[in-house]
Amino acid sequence: MTKTFEEYQKEKREREWKEKVQKQKEALGNAERVKRATDWKAIGNEKFKVGNLPEARDYYREAIILVEDLVEARRKERNDLLVPLYANLAQVYLRLGQPAPAEEVASKALVIAELPRNNVSTSLRAKSQFRRASARRLLGMLEEAREDLIAVLKLEPESEEAAKDLALVRAALAEKAKEARAAMGGFLNREAAKTRQRDDQKAAIAEKLRLAEERRRERRARAEQRQQMQDAFAKLAKSPMLYEEREKEMEPIRQKELEKKQTLELEQNLLNIIDESKGKPKVEKFDAFMQQKEERCREQSQELDQKKKVLDKLKKESDWQEDDSWRGQREEHRKQIEARGSSTGPRQLWDSTQVGRWCEQHLRKLLVKASVTATDELEPELLALAKGEATGRCVLRALVTDVLKFEGDAAVMRLNLQKPPLHYFDYFLKLEWEVAIAEEGDEFYRTAEELIQEAAQDNDNKAPPSIAKNRILAGTFKTRMLCSEEEPADGKWALAVKVKRRFDCQPKDGSPAGARGARLEQMAQVLRDRLLEEAQRLLCRWAQDYREYWA
């Protein structure tokens, strides 16, 4: 079929426009593409509000081209832009009387929205589904439109517009079914068939006339639209380019981005000078510098967390000293009461004693610094991985470094003075443990004061990463069932084990780690399991001491 001059010009303009947009996209990075698409979306919304549908359509389409092929790492940003852009573009096409492209872009929005991992909001999914239903109704796809409207009402049951359109679609389908049933009945009634045939002929003539009138109206509308486009392009040919004003508005933003990048490049040069003075290699590429900057920020955040942890430990150890002083006073008070003998006043039928503080203090006394030590001396090749040179015999040692959580309650209740008391407790317990390399005779556990002193001696004032030196593994033991009513028959409460810090397998002597790092970590895991059994044994002892002390 031969194309008209206007159709040829239209295809040429569309092709040139796509090439221009593609060229601009290739010159932008991923972050810049996301930012520009966001700006274009906002401008398209403003154009739509004032009724400038062609320009709104162009802004939406360009924004879609900018982000539709973003990398998977930016999937969330891509989907957060694409779904509303497709939905808005579908509405523009409907307003322009183009249901076919409206149905296509609304379907693209739903392909993204229907995947659960994309986390698209219910309202945005309902909006896309409703606009596809509107496009399908105009295209005569009544059954598909009905399914879309039912889906919309499932998402938004209160939508009056969707309910109204569904009623219209169902009425049209019912009329169509009625006509089909009437046509089927003609095989059984020839006279009725002849009458229907005449009626059908009349209806066909009327439909033919109606279609002819519609075609005339469409030709007039196309002619008017063609004239409007010619006038618009003639105006554009005499006026500034479509995006020239926007390009001028974006110039200050680009200048700020350039200044920001220049500042970062200056920071890169300064850090390279500092690294060279410390004997570290320079970072030549800007992308590598930005990655290194992110790593440094992450390390600084971890450093702040570790310092806060040391300060928390300092406060906790102060509280422990107060608990120890309280325990001594309580023991003295208890001895005084026993020396005076029993009271001569009336005794209650039952009483209850809160013993939570004693339980917490005694559990901390038993478990904190509880440790197990490997019997075999570490081989030099394994020792070189973490400690480097050593002056004495080195072994692996595991210990409980802290009671992170001990939440709950305990009480001793005497319901009858002739019977033994009931010892009740119910706690959530979380312990922190570490496995490290230690020399015989070294103090393995370090207090908060010692950690602060070591940080002060460090050139970078960095807090030590662990309670014990030369840490290999670290993690937690946890149970929510430390309860007197659910005490296990074997006396061993089940403790969940979690590893939070692993050995990085980077030898301090500079040699390759190979399989030695994995072997050292495996040995640490075996010792960790022995510490778990020790912790279970001490918990059993704690429960026994609790009953004996408060008997």
Per-residue pLDDT reduced to its tens digit, 45-100 = 998 998 898 888 888 888 888 888 877 778 888 888 888 999 999 999 999 899 99
Closest CA to 57 of 25, 19, 101: 101
- The pLDDT tens digits of the residues spanning 262-299 come to 888 888 788 888 888 878 888 888 888 888 888 878 77
In whole angstroms, give the CA distance from residue 370 to residue 445.
10
- The pLDDT tens digits of the residues spanning 524-538 come to 888 889 989 889 888
* DSSP letters for 8-55: HHHHHHHHHHHHHHHHHHHTS-HHHHHHHHHHHHHHHHHHHHTT-HHH
Is residue 309's pLDDT more than 60? Answer: yes
Evaluate whether 74 touches 31 at the Cβ level (below 8 Å): no
Residue 107 confidence (pLDDT):
92
What's the token pair of residue 357? 């503080």
Topology (CATH) of 13-181: 1.25.40
Say which amino acid occupies 548: E
Q: Residue 132 burial (CB < 10 Å; 0-12/13-18/19+)?
A: buried
More confident call, 4 vs 150: 150
More confident call, 309 vs 352: 309
- The pLDDT tens digits of the residues spanning 465-489 come to 777 777 888 899 998 888 888 788 7
Secondary structure of 168-220 in the HEC alphabet? HHHHHHHHHHHHHHHHHHCCCCHHHHHHHHHHHHHHHHHHHHHHHHHHHHHHH
In whole angstroms, give the CA distance from residue 163 to residue 473.
62
Domain boundary assignment for the chain: 13-181, 186-260, 309-340+348-549
Residue 369 confidence (pLDDT):
81
Is residue 115's pLDDT more than 50? Answer: yes
Estimate to the nearest angstrom the gap between the alpha carbon of 94 and the chain centroid: 36
What's the token pair of residue 246? 């926007």
| Residues 189-200, mean pLDDT to the nearest whole number | 72
DSSP assigned state of 420: P
In whole angstroms, give the CA distance from residue 211 to residue 92.
26
Q: Under CATH, which architecture does the 309-340+348-549 domain have? A: Super Roll (3.15)
Residue 7 confidence (pLDDT):
77
What's the token pair of residue 153? 């009402």
Residue 242 confidence (pLDDT):
55
| Residues 447-452, mean pLDDT to the nearest whole number | 73
Residue 278 confidence (pLDDT):
79
Is residue 179's pLDDT more than 50? Answer: yes
- The pLDDT tens digits of the residues spanning 388-400 come to 555 678 888 888 9
Say which amino acid occupies 210: R
Q: Whole-number mean pLDDT of the chain?
A: 80
Q: Residue 15 burial (CB < 10 Å; 0-12/13-18/19+)?
A: exposed
